[in-house]
Amino acid sequence: MLEFKPISNQSESKSVAKPFAERVVYWTILLTPLWWVLGLQTIVYPVVSAFLLIAGLNLDKLIKKSLPVCNWAWLGMTLAALWTNIFGLESIGFDPLKTAATFFTLFKGYFMIFGCMTLPFWHRIKVQTIVRAVSWMSASYLILLTIQLLILFGLGPQDHFLPPLARLIPGEKTSLMVKFAEIQPFFGIPLPRTDLYTADPPILGVCGLLCFFMCLSETNQRLRKFALTGSFVGLIISQSRLAWVCFPLVWIIIYCFRSGLARQAYLWVISLTSLFAAGLSLSIKDFIALPLSTFNNARADSSKDREFIVNATIDAWKESPWLGWGIVEKTASWGNGVFVLPLGTFSSYAQVLYIHGIFGFIFFILALVSTLCSFWKPAIQGNPICQRAFGCLVALYLLIHATNLTWMAIYFWFFFIWLGAVLSEVQQQQPNVTQWGDLGVRSWE
């Protein structure tokens, strides 16, 4: 009989000093509230990952320790984006401010993802160390949320403020603002909403979902409960409809792996959808349209704005389909010019087509698919951590249809280090289900 049981090597791991890179990653995650208050998140995380990547760069490691295909795919996406960026910047004469903003976006986006996923292959960074730091950070959601709600209901809505150190960072300041909870309508009901350590509430929904499934591996039961509660509350108060839908989806994916239905999952989905639609005398299109309409009506204005910007982005891409525009150059306005947003503000897929064209889009899809496929085999073989990682990646790929990956990746940079650490430990193991317990917390008997 197959059974999960905790491994008892915690006292031994505590007595061994953590390597330098592991300590840096641990404390950088743990001090997230500090970076948020100082307004340094967009600087600290990519700089830390780049510093550790350079510090661990060694020709011997490159030769003897091969990186997974997905790591090279993200590096390929970085280089493809750089190439198209240069073409776009050349068309405007390499304006200094635009050039700096474009390269910094690339640095804290695709390059940071590549760096974070590569760090565990060049440094000793254990999965459980990342999980412990994320658990403490997730638990802190409860403290900050309590403070924000007390301020909201006790003193009323408060103005956002820009931390002093954030003023020294060039570029736009919106993502650096420290914001307080506020009341926003949801299905016409006024409810509190906040973004905590992120720049936008939907990003908090993504972080809450990813942190929840990462923290399932926490061995300290009390901390685990606080971390899961904090992650779930963050997910709920973000009012991110798509994140809410993706949360049970991840559970379904995990269940399919554990029940042996993963290979037949798509058949079950199609069959059940057809059955329900037939039972209600609806076409497949109408069956999908009904919940989608309810989903969009929850925040009708937001849904319409997103749809408008995405459609305008696709229209702009059609003017330069192969290499894109290289930079964000155009905007879309509506409401008699009251609302103006840059093209590519929402969907990552539309943004990649618009900025990098079909050329960059091919590299982007290769990076997404290769990363997902890296976890398929160990997940099928019974690795519980890889099953969660696979489910989280599927959810993330759906979520980036609504929010740009290059904008929000900075706020869950630890997720990519976790992915790299899982792949690194899988690579070190023999393909034997009796050894999957070394990945974090579980073992098979």
- Three-class SS state of 346: coil
Asked if residue 394 lies in contact with residue 269, where contact means CB atoms within 8 angstroms, the answer is no
| pLDDT (tens place) for every residue of the chain, 445 residues total | 333 343 334 443 444 678 999 999 999 999 999 999 998 998 999 999 999 999 988 777 766 668 899 999 999 999 999 999 999 999 888 888 889 889 999 999 999 999 999 999 999 999 999 999 999 999 999 999 999 999 999 888 888 888 888 877 766 677 788 888 888 877 778 888 998 999 889 999 999 999 999 999 999 999 999 999 999 999 999 988 899 999 999 999 998 888 866 656 555 554 454 444 444 444 444 434 445 454 455 554 566 777 888 888 999 999 989 999 998 888 877 665 556 788 888 889 999 999 999 999 999 999 999 999 999 999 988 899 999 999 999 999 999 988 899 999 999 999 999 999 999 999 887 544 444 444 444 433 2
DSSP for 146-166? Answer: HHHHHHHHHH-----B--GGG
Asked if residue 140 lies in contact with residue 35, where contact means CB atoms within 8 angstroms, the answer is no
Query: Rounded to whole angstroms, how far apart are CA atoms 87 and 322?
Result: 12
* Helix then strand then coil, % of the chain, to nearest 5: 70, 5, 25
pLDDT attached to residue 295: 47
pLDDT attached to residue 164: 81
Q: Residue written as tokens 């042996």? A: 260
- Taking Cα atoms as reference points, which of 156, 115, 81 lies closest to residue 327? 81
pLDDT attached to residue 339: 66
Mark 83-106 as b/e (b = at least 16 C-beta within 10 Å): ebbbbbbeeeeeeeebbebbebbb
Q: What is the pTM of this model?
A: 0.86
